[in-house]
Amino acid sequence: MTAGSVALEGVTKRYGSETVVADVSVTIAPGEFFTLLGPSGSGKTTTLSMLAGFVVPDEGRVMLSGQDMTRVPPRGRGLGMVFQNYAIFPHLNVAENVAFPLTVKRAPKAEIARRVADAMAMVKLEGFEGRYARQLSGGQQQRVALARAIVAHPPVVLMDEPLGALDKNLRYHMQVEIKEISRRLGMTVIYVTHDQEEALTMSDRIAIMNRGRIAQMGPPREVYEKPDSSFVAAFLGEANLLKARRDGNAVAGPGGTRIDAGAGALGASDGLLFVRPEKVSIAAGGADGAPNTLPGQVRHASFLGNIVRYQVEVAEGATVLCDTANGAGAALHAPGDPVRLSWRAEDSRLLAA
């Protein structure tokens, strides 16, 4: 395999009787931006630590650029890293911090100076060379850590929640920067986050982790729109998950309403009918007998600025969330109004309960 490829082959890690990473296999292409997403404790950091070499797996292999690195210490792996517990050194100034991966390799002085200047420009920290950690904001410190991770142009960079400490605006700005730098340098990035939006914006592919396993893996749009489980559906943003059961070629939803679900989605007999709130259309008036339509009553309308979110009570006390764009001339529905909800069969799936 070519430089920059990464593979985990049946990797397992146990602590005592607890299996924290269970038989994880994944192949990542050179230049890919790959994200491990999952709730706290799902095994993301442990997985990344096995790639880094801080943790040795109990089973399986770690391959980097086609070479077995399972037992090679971190230093020998040639990776760039931005880890939460791998902060910038307080006794070195910014330029010395950024230069660190090159100075330990005893790179020539002129090359160090040139590469440090490049990296400083990429993270927009020119003029901060002489400062120390205590003289920098949280965001500036994270940019120093990023510059240090990329200064040697490693083929693979590992990042564990690198933007965790930043406020929303700076976070968004840095997401764009990291994505841009990784593309420009052609680096493979393995990125860890528990933030769904961050994963969706930045990644070529996302692996959603649950209890040490990969629950689902795919491009952002695919895992968002075609979740295979209620866990993935609920973890990646808002999801309607309505009690339903298979009924011939259709699905019986709340109140026995027959609803078509996407072809191939009828995997389970008893299950949960999944549809995202923004895929649900709402119209004034109650039942009209049209296929794929659920009658209901508006319980609550929340004005969120760009969207209006309706909570609609349908049969059997079930509630469906429906998001409508607050566009020009958009109709408003008030609490108590009878309404009809509908969606396209291909936007829904029947998932195992």
Beta strands in the chain (DSSP E): 6-15, 18-28, 33-37, 59-64, 67-68, 80-82, 156-160, 188-193, 205-210, 213-218, 240-247, 250-252, 258-259, 270-275, 281-284, 293-303, 307-313, 319-325, 338-342, 348-352
Pick from 5, 35, 45, 65: which binds Mg ion (CB under 5 A)? 45
SS3 283: strand
Give the footprint of Mg ion on residues 312-331 (CB under 5 A): none
What is the size of the binding site for ligand ADP (CB under 6 A)?
Answer: 10
- Of ligand ADP, Mg ion, none, which one sits near residue 20, judging by CB under 5 to 8 A according to partner kind? ligand ADP
- Of Mg ion, ligand ADP, none, which one sits near residue 5, judging by CB under 5 to 8 A according to partner kind? none
Alpha-carbon distance 340 to 320, whole Å?
11
- Of ligand ADP, Mg ion, none, which one sits near residue 42, judging by CB under 5 to 8 A according to partner kind? ligand ADP
Residue 251 φ then ψ, to 5°: -120, 135
Question: CB-wise, 62 or 244, nearer to ligand ADP?
Answer: 62
Q: Does 57 bind ligand ADP (CB under 6 A)?
A: no
Name the H helices within the chain: 44-52, 94-103, 109-122, 138-150, 168-185, 196-202, 220-225, 230-235
Q: Does 46 bind Mg ion (CB under 5 A)?
A: no
Name the burial class of residue 50, with classes exposed (0-12), middle (13-18) and buried (19+) by CB atoms within 10 angstroms of its CB.
buried
Q: Does 35 bind Mg ion (CB under 5 A)?
A: no
CB 161 to Mg ion: min, Å: 6
CB 7 to ligand ADP: min, Å: 19
- Of Mg ion, ligand ADP, none, which one sits near residue 142, judging by CB under 5 to 8 A according to partner kind? none
Alpha-carbon distance 258 to 245, whole Å?
10
Q: Does 49 bind Mg ion (CB under 5 A)?
A: no
Question: CB-wise, 45 or 216, nearer to Mg ion?
Answer: 45
Contact assessment for residue 207 and residue 36, using Cβ atoms and an 8 Å cutoff:
yes
Give the footprint of ligand ADP on residues 7-46 (CB under 6 A): 15, 20, 38, 40-46
Q: Does 42 bind Mg ion (CB under 5 A)?
A: no
Chain residues in the site for ligand ADP (CB under 6 A): 15, 20, 38, 40-46
Chain residues in the site for Mg ion (CB under 5 A): 45
